[in-house]
Structure 1
Amino acid sequence: MSPDTDVLVVGGGPVGLAAAIEARRAGLDVAVLEPRGVPVDKACGEGLLPGTLTAVRRLGVDPAGWDLAGISYRQDGRVADHRFRDGPGRGVRRTTLHARLHEAALAEGAVVVPRRAGTVAQDDDGVTAGGVRARWLLGCDGLHSRVRREVGLEVVPGRRAPRSWWPSSRAGRRFGLRRHYRVAPWSDQVEVHWGPRVEAYVTPVAPDLVGVALLGPVGMDFDAELATIPELAGRLAREAEGSVRGAGPLRVRTRARVRGRVRLVGDASGYVDALTGEGLRVGFAQARAAVALLDDGAGYERAWRRVTRDYRWLTSGLVGAATSPVRRGVVPAAARWPGVYGAVVERLAR
């Protein structure tokens, strides 16, 4: 059976749209399966680190938002600040980013099909999902990837991941919650408030709007956890806008990223945690590598390990600290050794 397209992207979020843009620039026909309307919102921190903003601009998008000059860790009056050395990042509403990337993908000639993937079937010559047959399929369908399950690449929670590509972790399941507040930003940095149980990320996204994302254990209550961080709760009283959105569990492990003509990209390919704010940067790098190495599965596996290495190990280390008795020492240590703290931030901000 002849393919309908060269590349079928399952999932039309930012990483899926980036993959579509990369494929079109490589001269390939592209169809994107995405049943949700535009724009798609998601519970996330909404901060683009400098390296991520560079990657977004490379895709032809420069979304409106609020310039971010650095990262500020804060806990019980202690503060550790680091200002980015190579230019600002940007706080951008997820809906704004998605809408601009969607426009860019259509302008490049990608076709968006409002349909779910359903069953994934492949043979030596092609792969079919959602009634569309393609030469290659890129699974960009997020933390709860249907493609990952369909092709047997998901690691069941509690079982050991293959080899040593996934750092071990004893942390319980972590989730993310996000809400916006109609208030003028009071800082040009992303503030990370370390509460007793959660990390609260405060990201300005407009002149009159900030987003607050909480990372913490299953079952956490947004307002109750926010109340444990008085410095932050006092600024946000009675200013909430919209409902609380959630995402998780955040940790996802995979057996591999390639199965036949299928490649997993972005959160679908594996995820540690949102603590370091690197999800989009890593996902965009994976999308670029997946398209460049469509006919070289082993090459994509190597590229995937390379572009995710720092993210996997640094994030796992921070999550380990955040979920252990040393949690209360993270911010004091960052304040005491600003050079080390700054080096970590710069490594993640690339």
Structure 2
Amino acid sequence: MASTHAVDVVVAGGGPAGLATALHARAAGLSVLVRDPRAGVVDKACGEGVMPAGVAHLEALGVRPAGREIVGIRYCAPGRSAATRFRGPPGRGVRRTELHAALREAVRAAGIPVEQARVERVEQQRGGVLVDGLPAGYVVAADGLHSPLRRALGLDAATRGPARYGLRRHVRLAPWTDHVEVHWAEHAEAYVTPVGEEEVGVAVLTTRRAPYEEHLAAFPELLERLAGAVATSTVRGAGPLRQESRRRVAGRVLLVGDASGYVDALTGEGISLALAQARAAVDHLVSGDLPGYERAWRRVVRRHRVLTRALLAVGGSPARPLLVPAAQRLPRVFSAVVEAIGG
């Protein structure tokens, strides 16, 4: 990289995608600066189930957040359930705050500076970029679902289909399962993730705007499980979940994580995908093959997008009530889908 750069890589965004990018960049011998306007550890609406592939990515970075082992996925509907286990190593249920804290500590230990500031302006130059006046080699935009940089670069793309939203809260309750449970109701799904010895997270995905408690009323069996449990966090929301980008590379700027585009949280792969993209982005910065990152990004997300769009299509059709019975009757198919999600 050119010696006139004050820093090789500026990472815009200090969430998991941005911090993982920074760690990979430092490991590759690059100088890196993280900028994020938020201070400290940040909580966020998240299903908090890190799939096995995501756990492997974290291990490669030396990051081992506290949480609970997840051995598979169970689909639930009134009076029915279908469960399958991951064939390889387990996943992990991890509080979003715990994951963020573990990544921040790894960044601190690596000596990577984190500035509490927003990246406001990126100017492309020959052989580099100016980031709010700071000469840099590249920018990695990891500034979230509604990425200001994606919009500023003209990379936003129109989305189709109904808007979906997520809501999440934790309760103090000993986990009754070592699976991520996905409970299906008429207009929503509820995700139960064990995240500690005495704590579970319950997230709801839906197209309907309503209070969290009103959504939970659609899951009577789950409500019975949660009866009397004390909330350990406030309700947090996110959405609209679906965001699209026209491309992931603009000059010397690369999009990573939710900023690069997001379909839905239905399969729980968000963290795993973000971590895989972070690695791919740095690999292509080091090689100088920026167009190659676009191809790598498509490879990383292809399977996830096909599965998620298929599940959303079925979930939005009259066949929705048949999903759990079908998973019961076709265990090999269900197992293959879960394995694709996890790995």
- TM-score bucket of the superposed structures, by smaller chain: over 0.9
Aligned match for 2:324, one of 331, 334, 337? 331
Deviation, structure 1 residue 82: 0.3
Q: In percent, how many aligned pairs have the same letter?
A: 54
Could you tell me which residue of structure 2 aligns to residue 192 of structure 1?
A: 182
Deviation, structure 1 residue 282: 1.0
The 8 Å contact of residues 53 and 90 in structure 1, kept in 2 or not, is answered as yes
Separation (CA, whole Å) in 2 of partners of 1:157 and 1:63: 34
Deviation, structure 1 residue 19: 0.2
**2:265 aligned counterpart, secondary structure:** coil
Could you tell me which residue of structure 1 aligns to residue 49 of structure 2?
A: 47
Aligned match for 1:270, one of 243, 261, 264? 261
Separation (CA, whole Å) in 2 of partners of 1:88 and 1:111: 33
Deviation, structure 1 residue 220: 2.9
Q: How is 1:1-350 mapped onto 2 (pairs within 5 angstroms)?
A: 2-157=4-159, 171-239=161-229, 240-294=231-285, 295-350=288-343
Greater CA deviation, 180-189 or 104-113? Answer: 104-113
**2:65 aligned counterpart, secondary structure:** coil
The 8 Å contact of residues 10 and 139 in structure 2, kept in 1 or not, is answered as yes
Deviation, structure 1 residue 289: 0.9
Could you tell me which residue of structure 2 aligns to residue 166 of structure 1?
A: none
Q: How many residues align?
A: 338
**2:234 aligned counterpart, secondary structure:** strand
Deviation, structure 1 residue 218: 4.1
Runs (5+) with no aligned partner, structure 1? 159-170
Runs (5+) with no aligned partner, structure 2? none
Separation (CA, whole Å) in 2 of partners of 1:49 and 1:279: 9
Deviation, structure 1 residue 238: 3.7
Could you tell me which residue of structure 2 aligns to residue 165 of structure 1?
A: none
Deviation, structure 1 residue 90: 1.0
Q: Deviations over 1:177-198 (max 9, x none)?
A: 0000111111111111001211
Over the aligned positions, Cα root-mean-square deviation in angstroms equals 1.3
Separation (CA, whole Å) in 2 of partners of 1:220 and 1:133: 46
Per the alignment, do residues 252 and 187 of structure 1 end up closer, same or farther by CA in structure 2, a change over 3 Å counting?
A: same
Q: What's the TM-score once normalised by structure 2's chain length?
A: 0.96
Separation (CA, whole Å) in 2 of partners of 1:259 and 1:122: 9
The 8 Å contact of residues 159 and 242 in structure 2, kept in 1 or not, is answered as no
